[in-house]
Amino acid sequence: MSDGNYSTEGIPMPPPSVYIDLLSNKLGLTGEQVSDLQTLATFGAEIPPGDLLLRIYGYCQGFRTQNLLEKLLNKDTNLNEVVKDMKSLTTVKWVPDDEQKAW
């Protein structure tokens, strides 16, 4: 399927390469991620257009989630401490006091 004529049943669709560029710019993907997506588009040329664009969208969202998680982990050096604190709170056995038992 050529990038110039992408449509299904009269519904115009962007060419995969354009779609990848638009999504990657909007989602802040890295150059390596964009390259991986372009490879997916090349190898997926025989996949029906709508299916290919949905797959590309799914991968874009996966990359975005990965980037956000990496950013969070790199930015918040206290995250490990917070996780440890939360873990210690959840591992302590809760015992109701007399007032709570009366309920």
Say whether pTM exceeds 0.75.
no
The tens-digit pLDDT sequence of the chain (103 residues) is: 444 556 556 778 899 999 999 999 999 999 999 999 999 999 999 999 889 999 999 999 999 989 888 877 776 556 676 666 556 556 656 566 676 566 5
State the Cα–Cα distance between residues 17 and 56, nearest whole angstrom. Answer: 10
Q: How far apart are CA 15 and CA 52, in angstroms?
A: 10
What is the residue extent of each domain of the chain? 7-102
